[in-house]
Homo-oligomer: A and B are copies of this chain.
């Protein structure tokens, strides 16, 4: 095995996102990179997959160093499946990296995030996986400080082992590099999205709604992602796909009677 590491990259912001290139540029320093991303924005697509529509896959760019970029009409999770089962069917990637997302995926956002959905598509099959997010939704966000931490974390994850069946949810503060204090391993703050459905009327008299809202979080202990980000630390949270509330199994035994 003298091969350089193979890194499969996806995202949920689509093939034109600036954050994608920011991730690809760092990943190339470590190995061979293959990109498979949606052909447009798929924010908040979670683990959604496409069963009733045929999936298309198009090689849309090849760099001079041979890096191939594919895009698909599918969801982020579909892209990872296409990457693993079609494009890389003869070689298991050493890492699946997603992002860099334009915007936070901390707290309850991990549930809705396509960036983390795509990363977990890897970890559920026991590929090491990392989803990267910068706390800046702007299309022209500055990823230069984020890249420093992406480099550090990819390097360490490739050099060491992370636990089996685990993805890392990495959120990076929107701050100049010198203000970022380092990395904290965190747990998910148990907040939720407090939605607002903004009602409008179309030119023909029909009502419609825009989904909007804000993260409501009262879980601000020092070990949470939210605390870390508010204090300008990079938050790294290990996530798994076991949704069982093990602590509650005994409490609902009355349903067996």
Chain A 190-210 interface mask (CB, 8 Å, partner B; 1/0)? 101101110110000011111
Bound complex: CA of A192 vs CA of B126, how far in Å?
10
Number of A residues near B (Cβ < 8 Å) is 81
Bound complex: CA of A209 vs CA of B83, how far in Å?
12
Bound complex: CA of A19 vs CA of B246, how far in Å?
29
Bound complex: CA of A248 vs CA of B185, how far in Å?
10
Within 8 A of B (CB), among A161-214: 162-163, 165-166, 168-169, 182-185, 187-188, 190, 192-193, 195-197, 199-200, 206-211
Bound complex: CA of A74 vs CA of B44, how far in Å?
13
B211:A251 contact, CB within 8 angstroms = no
A110:B243 contact, CB within 8 angstroms = yes
Residues of chain B lying within 8 A (CB to CB) of residue A246: 187
Within 8 A of B (CB), among A32-66: 41, 43-52, 54-57
Bound complex: CA of A188 vs CA of B51, how far in Å?
23
Closest to A168 in B: B252
* Distance in Å: Cβ of A218 to nearest Cβ of chain B: 12
A146 within 8 Å of B (CB atoms): no
B188:A244 contact, CB within 8 angstroms = yes
A111 CB contact (under 8 Å) in B57, B75, B207, B241: B241
* Distance in Å: Cβ of A48 to nearest Cβ of chain B: 4
Known: A43-B52, A44-B51, A48-B44. A237 touches B241 (CB 8 A): no
User: What are 23 A-B pairs with beta-carbon distances under 8 A?
Assistant: A41-B52, A47-B47, A47-B112, A51-B211, A54-B209, A56-B206, A74-B211, A81-B195, A85-B195, A86-B199, A86-B209, A124-B193, A163-B245, A163-B248, A163-B252, A168-B252, A183-B255, A188-B243, A190-B241, A236-B256, A237-B244, A238-B249, A240-B244
Using a CB–CB distance below 8 Å, which chain A residues touch chain B? 41, 43-52, 54-57, 74-75, 77-78, 81-82, 84-86, 108, 110-112, 117, 120, 124-125, 153, 156-157, 160, 162-163, 165-166, 168-169, 182-185, 187-188, 190, 192-193, 195-197, 199-200, 206-211, 236-246, 248-249, 251-256
